[in-house]
Chains A and B, each alone.
Chain A
Amino acid sequence: DVKVTQSSRYLVKRTGEKVFLECVQDMDHENMFWYRQDPGLGLRLIYFSYDVKMKEKGDIPEGYSVSREKKERFSLILESASTNQTSMYLCASSLELAGDTDTQYFGPGTRLTVL
């Protein structure tokens, strides 16, 4: 079974703090993704990575950065947290495009509250 784990289920931070969200996958997947999920807006892609040290901006990268130093680990960084970054953050991973098996597997999510 593919396993995607996220470092925290719930996190409370203060405005201006630097926040690290960690994601680890155990299936040697090439691609990793960070989304945020908000009511009425669905899942929106923040950043993705298709290889170690490679990253691409998604639809809403402003206020975020990412790091992928090892294949299995993808970190999302909020340089200076703001209240509008209060959200559910979901990490996902997938194999390279491989027919109909290139699905994305999601972690359980981190609910971040910024006060």
Chain B
Amino acid sequence: QKEVEQDPGPLSVPEGAIVSLNCTYSNSAFQYFMWYRQYSRKGPELLMYTYSSGNKEDGRFTAQVDKSSKYISLFIRDSQPSDSATYLCAMTTIEGFQKLVFGTGTRLLVSP
């Protein structure tokens, strides 16, 4: 079983929809949680960063961490065609020395 599980999609939604992307993990020592966005033929870029549990909001994006369930989510409000990309969750422990463990990514398609 992988340490981090993520549905590969694709997830297809119409423009303006609320999108929910999720990851589950098995290592209870994970404390730092990240979401990266990767456009086709580009490297991943950091979208959101959360330490431990709770919510974090940045514009149309909200990251949520539920450590009791070992479950993290990224919500995108008012989705746009420009949000079409692959979204990767990543996480690490405090001692992890930034050795991130990545999910396989969920491909999101937002149609106009």
Q: How many residues on chain B are close to A (CB under 8 Å)?
A: 23
By secondary structure, the B interface counts as loop
Would you call A8 an interface residue if the criterion is a C-beta within 8 Å of the partner chain's C-beta atoms?
Answer: no
Q: Report B-chain residues with C-beta under 8 Å of the C-beta of A94.
A: 98
For B51, the closest partner residue in chain A by CB is A100
Contact call B46/A108, Cβ cutoff below 8 A: no
List residues 90-108 of chain A with CB under 8 A from any CB of chain B: 90, 92, 94, 97, 100, 102-108
Would you call A58 an interface residue if the criterion is a C-beta within 8 Å of the partner chain's C-beta atoms?
Answer: yes
Would you call B49 an interface residue if the criterion is a C-beta within 8 Å of the partner chain's C-beta atoms?
Answer: yes
Task: Report the interface size class on chain A.
Answer: 20 to 34
Would you call A43 an interface residue if the criterion is a C-beta within 8 Å of the partner chain's C-beta atoms?
Answer: yes
Q: Which residues of B contact A (CB under 8 A)?
A: 4, 6, 8, 34, 36, 41-46, 49, 51, 88, 90, 97-100, 102-105
